Amino acid sequence: MKIPQLKLKNQLALFNALSKALIITLLVIIVPWIVSEISIRETDDVLIQKLDQVIELVDSLGIDNYIDMESEFKTFGSYNILKEEYISIEQIENDTLYDVIEFSQRIIENELVDYRVLSYSIRENGNNYLIEIGKSISTIYHFEQNLKRFTFLFLLIVITLTLILDLSFIQYLLIPLDKIIKKLKSTNHPSSFDYSAVKTSTSDFIYLDETIHSLMRKIVEAFNDERDYISNVSHELLTPVSIIQSKLDNILNESSLPEEDMIKIFESKKTLRRLTNLVRTLLMMSRIENEEYILTEKVNLTNTLQNVLDEIEDKIVAKNLELKLKFKAKSFVFPGNDNLLFTLFYNFINNAIRYTDKGHISIETMKENNQFLIKISDTGIGIHKDKIPHIFSRFKNSSETKDSYGLGLALSKKICDYHNIEVEVVSELNKGSVFTLKFPN
């Protein structure tokens, strides 16, 4: 089961609400029981008090005062109009002693009524008498209901109040955490980090904030070191190349050399150029790895594609290839780095041209599942299916005859990863290849 991710604030609120709900549930179960226990005990106390009063009365006035000895039924009964209470005294024959309180039913005026009944036997003038004092359940029940209602109301008020207080306190307490998270979210590049301290009296948050700051300083330091390093490597590698190139240029410029030597020097220049390209490509990849390129330019992809085509179209014409353009999707503005995206499109289209000798190069833009796609297909030599997984690795050649396939595509892949662009390759040997670029929304 996947546990949904929640903010700490919401989790605390949820926990708070759940724990209170649990307390309420418990109380709902327990309170009626307690209340009825209490009310029964209360009733019993009242019954016992009343019994004491009755016994006192009987002692002082004599049993004859209540029971007519001459009558057939030696009983005395008294109840109030609403049958809420009754008291009876009755002469009994046996010697059993009663002293119980229990629930029991009595028929009074042909009506069955539930009572809590206290039965107690006394001995008076040589006879046994049973005194019964009853209190109707409905009055107990009524008392119980009132007690319950009051208790629940009280609980509800207390719980609502604490819930509101707790939630607003959590909210207030976590404001600094929200600020710290906001700060992290708005940092898309180490150099743009906000070092202002978050105001809080919670020591944990102060510690967290300070730790993030010190980590950020370390990241920026590492970033700057890496940038300096790349910049120095670039300088150290390209300066000697530049010196050699200038020397070769000057030699060629003399033009008094025999043709053979001139060709040799030209060949050396070409080799030097290859080295330059290699160094530049590797440096560009390192710079991407170090995230030196900003990704916040609003790049109109169709425009960039068109710029690449303007630059490259005459190569297509020179090779007598047909260029098929199908810009089916509306122009798409993508946050990225224009230079890198230009290089990306250039590399893919340039490759398509390079490996295609007849047929066409087709460039399509489309929207699929709300995603902007650029599809670059050719009718060229294609890629063997065993080699497709390796075409984006550095220095792995797809074609043994041409020497620079590997690094160009490795750079393209880097640019794609940097922009979160997905690349899909479909290719068939001697039929052609299709490269699809899928842009994130």
Partner 1 sequence: MRILIVEDEKSLASELKQFLEKEEYNCDVAITGSEASELIAINPYDFILLDIGLPDYNGLDLIEEGKKYNPEAYFIVITARGELEDKIKGFDLGADDYLPKPFSLLELLSRIQAITRRKFGQKMSIIEFGDFSLDTNKRHLQYKEDGVDLTKKEYKLLSYLVLNKNRILDRLQLTEHIWGDFFEDDYDSNYIDVHIKNIRKKLSAFDKTDWIKTVRGIGYKFEI
> Which residues of this chain interact with partner 1, rule CB under 8 A?
231-232, 234-235, 237-239, 241-247, 249-250, 252-253, 255, 259, 262-263, 266, 269-270, 272-274, 276-277, 280-281, 283-284, 293, 310-311, 314-315, 317-318, 339, 343, 346-347, 350, 354, 403-404, 408, 411
CB of 397 to partner 1, least distance (A): 13
CB of 238 to partner 1, least distance (A): 4
How many angstroms separate the CA atoms of 313 and 324, rounded?
A: 11
CB of 136 or CB of 398, closer to partner 1: 398
CB of 113 or CB of 308, closer to partner 1: 308
Residue 183, both tokens: 């700060």
CB of 13 to partner 1, least distance (A): 47
CB of 335 to partner 1, least distance (A): 18
CB of 43 or CB of 351, closer to partner 1: 351
Distances (CA, A) of 321 to 318, 325, 349, 362, 425: 8, 13, 13, 10, 21
CB of 438 to partner 1, least distance (A): 24
How many angstroms separate the CA atoms of 191 and 207, rounded?
A: 22
Q: Which helix (H) or strand (E) holds 232?
A: helix 203-254
175-185 and 137-173 helices, crossing angle to 10°: 40
Residue 264, both tokens: 């040799």
CB of 49 or CB of 303, closer to partner 1: 303
CB of 247 or CB of 431, closer to partner 1: 247
Amino acid at 182: K
How many angstroms separate the CA atoms of 6 and 411, rounded?
A: 38
CB of 216 to partner 1, least distance (A): 21
CB of 116 or CB of 354, closer to partner 1: 354
Residue 150: alpha-carbon gap to chain centroid: 41
Return the bridge partners of 124, or none: 127
Cα Rg for the chain, rounded, in angstroms? 48
CB of 128 or CB of 290, closer to partner 1: 290
Distances (CA, A) of 290 to 191, 198, 220, 284, 293: 12, 28, 11, 10, 8
Residue 138, both tokens: 């409905």
CB of 334 to partner 1, least distance (A): 19
CB of 273 to partner 1, least distance (A): 6
Strand 333-336 and strand 297-300: the pairing is antiparallel
Contact between residue 83 and residue 106 where contact means Cβ atoms under 8 Å apart: no
CB of 269 or CB of 387, closer to partner 1: 269
Token look-up 């995603």 returns: 371
Of the candidates 124, 133, 137, the one whose C-alpha atom is nearest the C-alpha of residue 52 is 133
